[in-house]
Structure 1
């Protein structure tokens, strides 16, 4: 397999993808940090379980407007300045989290952190999509997106290695210093998208197109709807497992250490899946990759539901992370290719915002059903129909792609990018 460097990346493309990977890593670290810090945070701030649930959810709530606004601003102001603003925002308010003194101050800090994290992702997708030629977009976006699960795994390692039972602020110190140190690197070395700069120089009237026209006009209604459905269905299941997998392990009578190992395997599988499965779209084609990936998700969920011991749970977690995060990585690459340059940020940002609804609905719905006495295995199996819907939507999305958005091995038109 050739590396990204061997695939005719434009000048600075590898550096762009590397810097975006670092930002995605820091995002993954931040998204997992509240869960890692939760037990110690709850003791110090005297938070009840329902209040702690709000602390989990409020960050995800901030992701919704962040993604929509960040994507829209990316098409107006440029990818680089909006990404830098986003990184500064979630770095500053991750630091503010360490200064929380009660529930309300904690919720405010986590919401604003989520706003910054949400605004960064559509810019990362747009930059990586535009840093690579069409035939390498899947690999480029996948290489960036694998930073998310690896960042989450890093947060878990920090939690395991944390000294004392009351020290929870250190993970947020790391989560704030990292982004703030990354800002000078972005300022010095990150190049603005050449495609965006070309449009800006041409002062194209299409740059000011309305959100409605960007998403629903000129034959894009079917593409947008299919993209949203595939994001929503996939992320409901992904975030259900991200939040409840440790509890599932404990429910099987296994130890907290085994629960941590299963969660770690889930994140490692996700990191591997993000870069490898997305790259398959460049070599095998989108349709074949999607069919194989969603079949893999269904089989992984069956394996996870039937697992009983630590080894089988770890294997199920690894496969679930591999295919679920891999599927989401493919969807990010598809979103980057589904819209032309002048509305790419808007289109990707809107899809991410809709997908974030799934990131909140999945854990919340699972919690309600578990409280009513449903077993974790039943919930895992019940999520397979959602995966089927997401798979069908993704296949419809590919069939709705305009001719110029197909892989370059089949057709290539420079005007589409």
Structure 2
């Protein structure tokens, strides 16, 4: 009988294969570890990456503050050079605001769809280029058109810097870091006073737009090399996981993150491909969104009413150009102080701080028109006005960045800014109309009390709704997508 004998080599190979198969059955491959983005961000110690983002965003926001203040400083010289009544500048002021209103939703969509970094770069380039072209304006009609286009670029900065900073900031410091970033608005508002005392004597009103155009173009180069994209945005986009994990490793070197680490976003990525604001009213956000728009409008209309006409009115009241520059700068110094204070209040008490700022602002703004104030007293009142008015605006920027989830954050901030900018166009126009009617200062500065009071009442209503939605005073993104408790 023939007996088959296995080849010893084949037998060994078979045994080896069987052992490996058994080993694989006993020890299956472990999936790559995963980390939820909110946990990653909230557990960080503030390091170089976040500091770089806040500083770069602060520099970007300088453009917003510089733009409005620069036009205000240029106004008296323009009136003297081109010989037209002050009321004709109202539409020029408003053209920039209308451009910002268009740019907010447009670049909010770009930010949610293509990335915060891309939108910030494009916005900065558009604003810088068309601000520089204003230098060559032959008349108010051309200046109005260029102001509109530069405003479109400027309007795109707010929603995307808010979104970028909110998505890198830990929950415990989110409002603080967003408002620190928005200190750039106040710093930018101070810079035209420097231009007024150094360059205006040589270059006239054009000095403001030389600086306002060249600086953003140079900054765009810096942003291209140094500004990162949002980790949360990258995680929601296909093919961007390697960039996201590299940024996550910089943010949290303590976690030992590798290219195999899976990053997870808790909120779904819905709505980024839509320009419509429909999702801002979904999932219990309807009344909250409407109130956010009301508060943005109230803060901005008062800011632009007061800020657009203060230099012209102070010069007409007898202040020298240097005294006017100092008093105007006090408005933005007050904003820095008011913004820093409200940032900590929002992190702890939420919308309570917004309501307090609106209500305190009523008597403060009214005091600007008090007859017989010395220059020092007027400067002090303007300082407090900046703290309350711009402080409430900065606070609303932070609140908006905390209410909406990642997928619609830029859209939420962009539409809020747009609605606010549209309404705020009434500020310079109403101011110009009242000035043309020779309205006394005491009555002129009673007008902003109406939107301030509306803002205070609206903030109390928003406080109630946010308390229900977030189940407390503090605002945090983890609860932003949840429904309000019954």
Superposition map of 1:262-341 within 5 A: 262-283=327-348, 285-306=349-370, 308-341=373-406
The 1-side partners of 2:479 and 2:86 are apart by 54
| Matched residue SS, 2:446 | helix
Q: C-alpha offsets along residues 87-125 of structure 1, whole Å, 9 cap, x if unaligned?
A: 011111122112223333322322211111111111111
- Per the alignment, residue 124 of structure 2 pairs with 87
2:94, 2:428 within 8 Å by CA — same for their partners in 1? no
The alignment of Structure 1 onto Structure 2 pairs a total of residues equal to 412
Q: Which moved more, 1:229-238 or 1:254-263?
A: 254-263
- Relative distance call for 1:80 and 1:406 in structure 2 (3 A) is farther
1:128 Cα deviation after fit: 1.4
Superposition map of 1:82-121 within 5 A: 82-121=119-158
The 1-side partners of 2:140 and 2:444 are apart by 31
| Matched residue SS, 2:66 | helix
Q: Which moved more, 1:241-250 or 1:347-356?
A: 241-250
- Relative distance call for 1:411 and 1:35 in structure 2 (3 A) is closer
- Per the alignment, residue 19 of structure 1 pairs with 56
Structure 1 residue runs of 5 or longer lacking an equivalent are none
Q: Whose helix fraction is larger, Structure 1's or Structure 2's?
A: 1
1:412 Cα deviation after fit: 7.7
The 1-side partners of 2:221 and 2:347 are apart by 33
Q: What's the C-alpha RMSD, in Å, of the aligned pairs? A: 2.9
- Relative distance call for 1:99 and 1:259 in structure 2 (3 A) is closer
Structure 2 residue runs of 5 or longer lacking an equivalent are 1-41, 239-264
The 2-side partners of 1:136 and 1:115 are apart by 30
- Per the alignment, residue 309 of structure 2 pairs with 244
Matched, 1:260 2:297: no
The equivalent position to 1:160 in structure 2, one of 197, 203, 206, is 197
The 2-side partners of 1:6 and 1:339 are apart by 21
1:48 Cα deviation after fit: 5.6
The 2-side partners of 1:390 and 1:270 are apart by 18
- Per the alignment, residue 192 of structure 1 pairs with 229
- Relative distance call for 1:367 and 1:340 in structure 2 (3 A) is same
Q: TM-score, normalised by structure 1?
A: 0.89
Q: C-alpha offsets along residues 162-220 of structure 1, whole Å, 9 cap, x if unaligned?
A: 25365333322222221111122212211111112222248945433562422222211
- Relative distance call for 1:406 and 1:128 in structure 2 (3 A) is farther
- Per the alignment, residue 127 of structure 1 pairs with 164
Q: Which moved more, 1:400-409 or 1:68-77?
A: 400-409
Q: C-alpha offsets along residues 329-366 of structure 1, whole Å, 9 cap, x if unaligned?
A: 11011111111110111111111011112331112112
1:139 Cα deviation after fit: 0.7
Q: TM-score, normalised by structure 2?
A: 0.77
The equivalent position to 1:353 in structure 2, one of 418, 422, 442, is 418
